[in-house]
A and B are shown apart, each in its own frame.
Chain A
């Protein structure tokens, strides 16, 4: 996982409440190996006029310069639906490093943290106001500072706390490998497992 400490970037607002992972990456692209790069599938259908047609110039990510942004502003319940981690791969491979939104789907949220993509929850009123601001000042910049646990918004929106659970935050800040970390507890796992299988022998058959 690539470490994340601080990121400053312009912001692109992606419209739609309940933007599910099928919108982030349609199911038919999930067969691809990661090596192919998932960025090409990001919002594949909704950024086009029809399924395989031309890019829709009205879709925010298709506007000139939008590709440079590494932070997206999203609406309520972003990433709900399917557990496909491909949704996070698509965002990460496209270059997105942080998301700002009122709420995220639980599985998506975890998948994001495992890939060093930082989802920042802010109150819905603040997100709406920020979206308005961005339509007037498309160049406005935001800083997500994971080290200092804060997000700096443009204009007079001020600085707000970023709440990521300390366990995940530590992992992302240092770009830790969670499997390696867990394997350092091998003995505790082994002891627990032996007792569990002894009392539930059907689990070991």
Chain B
């Protein structure tokens, strides 16, 4: 009898299934099932043109306009500057040139690439998916190997539909117990990153597990995997289950009804085997997590909303003491300040972290019958999310509360389309990065969940949503 194969992780199984060959020097040549393109991918197309090559498998490539699109209108003329309008036009031209299906500015399928891909059934369990965007980790939530790449790697995928990759180490993050009221996937991730650090999962692929994760909807799982990269993990994954299959079924680019049972049978085999060994295990107690907020300029600078701005001298490492002091200077905060009650200038609900329908429902539920006291905008993650929110009456709730209701795109998450937080302004944001200048030169970002952002908008300051 052949010896039983060693138990494998989900990452290992999907990896093995995509390995064309292994180079004597180490890395695997991986087959890439799907490649997502956005306006920023233009360098890869320029590279291809320079070589006289065309995309090898245009049907496995999908384009979405998101980073530079205006949110106040749906024409390139609405763009904040001619240079930005040119990015949108160049994108369309490249997609036409490459024969790549794309969802441009006026398409009903348009939206943020990592919101659109699952929505359209482009993201599926068991696939390898890349995009020249670090938050491609988001799409691992359906049980896929999905990771961000640069422009050189993207040109390589366009030309060969493959990539040379070294298999990452594996980390299992188990979230035990149950989350308290007002605590979301966003808070779980901020708590995780605060615990292991912004470099904590460098070189690893994270698989999220445990009862909290199993009970999460696809939207919440997407939020988890989205922020894996903020812990330095290029990959985040959740094993596919009934919740995944229900979500995927019937979506445009998913297997057809005739193919369905076979596909699901295969997907069920992809989950990590009992006894599979992970290189590192991290366990979080779900009940101990509070709604979180960041105080500094790295996502690891997160504490519970009822916490305080820390004293830089309290950190163990000299480098962190220095950078925390610099962060506080940039954020104009003093140690010991209570975060609950900190005055704000702006609120942004959006980004591939928190702009899906459930996120909008959570925020709207806080807003019912209340009014914002500071400028606040909602940018739905996709045009379909926007339309659904309008049908469900969420858009009306946002507008009655005084929120601006925008068209879909990346918007104020990365401030590339001209939607910016002004210099020195303090913004509660549902996005993923509180980096210096991320939301605009001099902008100060506090990362929070959608419900916390809504609470902040009606009180004008950081607010513990559990009080409302």
Contact = CB atoms under 8 A, between A and B. Distances in A.
Interface string B23-55: 101110101011000001001001000010100
B225 to A, nearest CB: 15
A165 B159 CA distance: 23
Contact of A51 (B29, B31, B441): B441
Contacts of B365: none
Interface in B398-442: 414-416, 423, 433, 435-438, 441-442
B282 to A, nearest CB: 18
Contact of A114 (B29, B60, B153): B153
Contacts of A179: 51, 53, 155-156, 159-160
Given A34-B46, A166-B26, A28 B159 contact: no
B197 to A, nearest CB: 8
B151 A22 contact: no
B199 A34 contact: no
A179 B132 CA distance: 17
A76 B319 contact: yes
Interface of A: 15-18, 20, 22-23, 26-28, 30-31, 33-34, 45-46, 50-52, 75-77, 80-85, 88, 103, 105-107, 110-111, 114-115, 124, 128, 165-167, 170, 178-179, 182-183, 185, 188-189, 192-193, 196, 200-205
Contacts of A185: 20-21, 29
5 contacts: A31-B86, A80-B198, A85-B132, A111-B153, A193-B57
A81 B435 contact: yes
Contacts of B152: 85, 111, 114-115, 178
Contacts of B259: 201-202
Nearest to A167: B25
A52 B442 CA distance: 11
B298 interface: yes
A34 B42 CA distance: 10
Contact of A192 (B23, B31, B83, B256): B31
Contact of A182 (B29, B86, B149, B202): B29
A146 to B, nearest CB: 14
B368 interface: no
Given A22-B436, A27-B416, A105-B202, A182 B162 contact: yes
A30 B40 contact: yes
Interface of B: 20-21, 23, 25-27, 29, 31, 33-34, 40, 43, 46, 51, 53, 57, 59-60, 68, 83-84, 86-87, 124, 127, 132-134, 148-153, 155-156, 159-162, 164, 166, 198-199, 202-203, 229, 232-234, 253-256, 259, 263, 298, 300, 317-320, 322-323, 326, 414-416, 423, 433, 435-438, 441-442
Contacts of A114: 150, 152-153
Nearest to B40: A30
Contacts of A107: 134, 148-150, 234
Enumerate the 9 nearest inter-chain pairs by beta-carbon distance, A residue then B residue, closest first: A51-B441, A77-B199, A111-B150, A114-B152, A167-B25, A85-B150, A166-B25, A83-B134, A85-B151
Given A17-B323, A76-B319, A202-B259, A103 B59 contact: no
A178 B256 CA distance: 37
Contacts of B416: 27-28, 30
Contacts of B263: 202
A20 B323 contact: no
Contact of B437 (A51, A75, A124): A51
Contacts of B148: 83, 107
A205 B252 CA distance: 11
Contact of A178 (B53, B149, B164, B435): B164
B232 A80 contact: yes
Interface centre among A27, A33, A83 (most CB of B within 10 A): A83
B437 to A, nearest CB: 5
A27 B229 CA distance: 18
Contacts of A202: 124, 253-256, 259, 263
A64 to B, nearest CB: 24
Given A16-B323, A124-B319, 19 more contacts: A15-B322, A17-B322, A26-B437, A33-B46, A51-B441, A76-B199, A83-B132, A111-B152, A114-B152, A128-B318, A165-B166, A167-B164, A167-B166, A179-B156, A179-B160, A182-B159, A189-B20, A193-B57, A203-B59
Contact of A84 (B40, B160, B318): B40
Contacts of B127: 203
A105 to B, nearest CB: 6
A177 to B, nearest CB: 9
